């Protein structure tokens, strides 16, 4: 006798095993039930597949709706402030097509730089001097800075709207002005390099205004743009510093990449505003150390100096820009 038949209830276990084997072979009602169960399981799989399809379809629908809303928003903006039809400063309708998207009143009030300029910073100079008061005792490693605008009035408003108002389209207006200045001043550049921001600052603002300007200028002048500089450390705002502290503040905070492309090339450094030249000088120093042949600076606007006198530790008197 088998072991399970010797155990209490062994006969019942044996009968259950025989009955189970019989049911597996049975094609009748029980077999149909098992087939129905299998179909149900298959049906569950089908329902899951259909559910996944519904989820994907809903995702595509949401994307379509978002794209539609975005296009509608752009259409509304274009209707209210259409490009090339309204003034980029005041929003007034342009009665005629102009070189810059400015109405007659804003063009008249825009502080364009004309006439004699400082050889270093490009600020208008009223007399026949070669340098303005800010640059008379300044040593720069870049060749010169040139700007289409003085940083005041309407020009100041434009730069503020670009940097802090998120109006990125203003980069096209300033880019057109800067490109014209590049040509009219006989500047040279084989590669355009924008002044960088730290990763944290750029993420906070959402963009680097210098890079926007550089790319617009590069497209207009057919000069390649290379983000060869990076800012490797945070610095205090230059406006909070004066004199030698400004130069120390940015000392060693830039690094260069793509040395193989910079080597022997004339670089055009692009930024939004030229104030003391400390940032431009440190960027130029970094590019020259990486092998660049020369560095010229092109900015949207240059500030007027507010001069002050500072006595250094060595007793030397220094005149500096106290903006």
CATH number for position 213: 3.40.50
Q: What is the mean pLDDT of each run of 10 residues along the chain (323 residues)?
A: 45 49 49 53 64 71 70 57 76 86 94 95 90 88 98 95 93 97 97 95 93 98 97 69 64 92 98 93 97 98 76 53 45
Residues 56 and 139 in one domain: no
Residues 299 and 160 in one domain: yes
Question: What is the predicted pLDDT for the residue at 312?
Answer: 53
The domain total for the chain is 2
The answer as to whether 176 is a domain residue is yes
Please, what sign has the CA dihedral across residues 142, 148, 154, 158?
negative
Find the domain containing 7 and state its range.
3-64
Q: Which two tokens stand for residue 174?
A: 């300033």
Q: Is 243 left (phi over 0), alpha (psi -120 to 50) or beta?
A: left
**What does residue 229 show for φ and ψ, rounded to 5 degrees?**
-110, 145
The answer as to whether 239 is a domain residue is yes
For the question of whether the overall pTM of this predicted structure is more than 0.85, the answer is: no
Q: Which two tokens stand for residue 304?
A: 């007027």
């Amino acid at each position: 006798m088998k072991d399970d038949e010797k155990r209490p209830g062994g006969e019942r276990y044996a009968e259950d095993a025989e009955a189970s084997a019989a049911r597996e072979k049975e094609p009748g009602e029980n077999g149909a039930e098992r087939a129905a169960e299998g179909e149900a399981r298959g049906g569950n799989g089908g329902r899951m597949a259909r559910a996944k399809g519904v989820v994907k379809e809903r995702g595509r629908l949401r994307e379509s709706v978002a794209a539609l809303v975005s296009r509608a928003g752009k259409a509304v903006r274009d209707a209210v402030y259409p490009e090339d039809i309204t003034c980029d400063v005041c929003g007034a309708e342009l009665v005629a097509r102009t070189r810059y998207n400015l109405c007659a009143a804003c063009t008249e009030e825009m502080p364009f730089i004309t006439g004699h300029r400082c050889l270093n910073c490009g600020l208008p100079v009223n007399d026949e001097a070669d340098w303005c008061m800010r640059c008379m005792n300044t040593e720069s490693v870049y060749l010169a800075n040139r700007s289409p605008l003085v940083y005041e009035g309407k020009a100041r408003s434009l730069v503020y709207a670009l940097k802090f108002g998120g109006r990125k389209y203003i980069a096209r207006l300033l880019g057109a002005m800067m490109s014209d200045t590049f040509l009219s001043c006989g500047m040279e550049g084989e590669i355009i390099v924008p002044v960088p921001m730290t990763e944290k600052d750029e993420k906070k603002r959402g963009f680097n205004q210098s890079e926007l300007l550089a790319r617009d200028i590069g497209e207009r002048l057919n000069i390649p743009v290379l983000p060869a500089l990076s800012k490797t450390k945070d610095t205090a705002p230059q406006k909070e510093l004066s004199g030698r502290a400004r130069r120390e503040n940015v000392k060693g905070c830039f690094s260069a990449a793509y040395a193989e492309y910079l080597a022997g090339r004339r670089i055009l450094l692009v930024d939004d505003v030229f104030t003391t030249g400390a940032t431009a000088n440190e960027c130029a120093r970094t590019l020259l150390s990486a092998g660049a042949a020369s560095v010229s600076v092109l900015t949207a606007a240059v500030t007027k100096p507010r001069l002050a006198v500072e006595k250094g530790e060595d007793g030397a008197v220094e005149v500096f820009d106290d903006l």
